[in-house]
Amino acid sequence: MSIVTLQSVKKDFGIKELLKDANFSLDTNDKVGLIGTNGSGKSTLLKMIAKLESIDSGQILVNSGAKIVYLPQQPDIDENHTVLEQVFADSGEQMNLVREYEELSDKLAHYPDDSQLMSRLSSVMQRMDATGAWEVETNAKIILTKLGIADFDVKVGTLSGGYRKRIALAAALISAPDLLLMDEPTNHLDALSVEWLQSYLNRYRGALLLITHDRYFLDRVTNRIIEIDRGDIYNYTGNYSYYLEKKALAEESAVSTQRKHQGILRRELEWLKKGPKARSTKQKARIERAHALRDTEFKQLNGKVDISTVGRRIGKKVIELQNVSKGYNGRTLIKDLTYEFSPEDRIGIIGGNGAGKSTLMDIMTARIKPDSGNVEIGSTIHIGYFNQHSEELLTAVNEDQRVIDYIKEEGEFIQISDGTKITASQMLERFLFPGNQQYAPINKLSGGEKRRLYLLRILISAPNVLILDEPTNDLDVQTLAVLEDYLEDFNGCVIVVSHDRYFLDRTVDRIFALEEGGGLRQYPGNYSIYLDYKKAEEAEKQETSKTVIAEKVVSPVTETKKARRLSNWERREFEELEGKIAKLEADKTAVERKLVTVAGNYSQVQKLYEEVETLKKNIDVATERWLELAEME
């Protein structure tokens, strides 16, 4: 059954036609990946389906009663809300009851003798029991925990943009709509959170339409791909790997068809040059066919970024770090780091949010100074630094500057890899900025287009050291694929900070993992090989843990801190906790039901309410311990 149907939808922003005649539908079992170059209209299409953006013509039909939830790249969040309040801010009846229950409970904690509050709480609890809303709160806390958010009462305004996006993601998942529209849901998520989200969406019963640069995620979650290519819509029934296969075949077929057309056209033009007299019907028809062949237009197959910028010589000395340390607010991010980067290095830097990855990049590029230690940069080194906030900096500094003028600041003519020089305008065309867009102000570009423009500016400056801080955020998969090919042949040092598993697998041959306390561990190979090392390390630790317990060398408490996998006694505790939590929930439900029956007896209500609160705390403690052990399972 179709949830949404687009019929002959058109959208034009003046300098660019986003949709010419879009026709497709989304069914209940669809998990669709939306792809296309930056600025092709992917985010706009999501907004149109969510009725946040108008269409120029055509119609978008939504099935009556269907619930649609839209998760934008920059979600609207009330900074005064707590995490749980924000999660339940735009919710249905169940979640509204949970929110009211939380508010009343908080008030009763301050005014325990307020009989009116107690009566209202009793009524809310009765309705929660009838609608099954108790499960919603538990589910919300589990999802938030899986996304790396442990404090549910902290004010949203105190959190970083990455954590705010996670809260908005949690709210979208908890709402369980018929159609979930997601714009770059994996941005700001670490590898573990991405893995969990991937697994969650695979089990999700509703329909999905999502934009993401994470190609592993795209491949494993979707069962259909919709591509927007210069206003046209193309459907592929399959995941991302299937799309790549069919896309390659389609382009080969198109090239073959165009070659055949050119051959026929050449012969027909030669015949026309001989001056045939249109005496017969056959000759007239042939002349008309020749003119038709000449006027036939083929869609160019170059809707891809072309990176062919020139490099420069690099010496033996690149960047040297000697006993470098850096910390903020009493927390050490980098501790005694010593490393000499070589011209051949291809290094991926990973770590959790706030681990110090961007700080390390800023130290290496002399943007900030270390607390101790030395940083030396070679005399021949020209660093190209593509940081994760480039589009914001670009807009802030050059808001009204024209696209072409921004590139011309690097030069009117640009040397490319084959030694020839092309104009700034030609270079922009290779980066998918057509002529009319080149003379538009930068603030008219989409976020992804600004990132692509900033990348072009960096590459034409001919760096011999490329430092890429989260380059995959907001860059389309087509641009990423071309960038990966470019880096493969790049004559210089490449340092990448990324959560994108696919990008790291394609571009690096050594992993630097930042650890808590400022330590850094090195692993040879790409990200997948790093994961193999981590699995082997954890398996070895688990085996060691079992041996140590058997020999009774260390206490169980000490072993718990060291082991990353469940020990035997932890496994027993884990299994027992499931029954314990179920019993506590059953006890709480029984007391809540009893509470409803004695609503008129204040002393009884007070006693039972305190019993409910105690059970809730015990459930929270047991659930938190269960989640902790489940992470090691």
Higher pLDDT, 315 or 599: 315
Give me the sheet containing 372-377, strands edge to edge: 331-340, 319-328, 372-377
CA distances from 388 to 347, 404, 468, 470 (A): 17, 22, 8, 5
pLDDT digits (tens, 9 = 90+) for 368-386: 999 999 999 999 999 999 9
- At 185 the pLDDT is 92
**pLDDT, tens digit, for every residue of 306-320?**
777 777 888 899 999
What is the reported pLDDT for 268?
Answer: 60
Is the pLDDT assigned to residue 302 strictly greater than 60? no
**Farthest-apart Cα atoms in the chain, separation:** 110
Predicted pLDDT at 562: 42
pLDDT for the residue numbered 580: 82
pLDDT at 560: 39
Alpha carbon of residue 446 to chain centroid: 17
> Comparing 27-31, 142-146, 182-186, which segment has the lowest mean pLDDT?
142-146
Query: Can you tell me which residue has the tokens 């059953």?
Result: 586
CB-CB neighbours of 554 under 10 Å = 14
60-64, 189-193, 591-595: which has the highest mean pLDDT? 60-64
**In sequence order, which ranges of 389-470 are alpha helices (DSSP H)?**
390-397, 403-408, 424-430, 435-438, 447-460
Range among 108-117, 201-210, 611-620 with highest mean pLDDT value: 201-210
* Tens-place pLDDT, residues 220-279: 999 999 999 888 999 999 998 888 888 877 777 666 666 665 666 666 666 566 665 554
Name the DSSP class of 517: T
Residue 556: pLDDT band (50, 70, 90) is: very low
Quote the CA–CA distance of 300 and 474 in Å, as a whole number.
25
Distance CA 131, CA 95 (A): 10
Q: Kindly state the tokens that stand for 188.
A: 């700001």
> Residue 445: pLDDT above 70?
yes
The mean pLDDT value of the chain amounts to 82
Q: Which of 267, 108, 19 is nearest to 608 (CA)?
A: 108
Kindly state the average pLDDT of the residues 100-112.
80
Q: With 50 as the cut, is the pLDDT of residue 494 above it?
A: yes
44 sits in which H/E element? helix 42-49
Of 215-219, 333-337, 576-580, the one with minimum mean pLDDT is: 576-580
> So what's the pLDDT on residue 559?
40
**How much of the chain exceeds pLDDT 90, in percent?**
29
pTM exceeding 0.85: no
Residues 237 and 159: their CA atoms lie apart, in Å, by: 40
Helices (H) and strands (E) counted in the chain, each on its own, are 22, 20
Question: Given this model, what pLDDT does residue 341 score?
Answer: 95
- Mean pLDDT within 171-182: 91
Q: What is the pLDDT of residue 564?
A: 47
Q: Say how far apart CA 94 and CA 136 lie, in whole Å.
A: 7
pLDDT of residue 5: 95
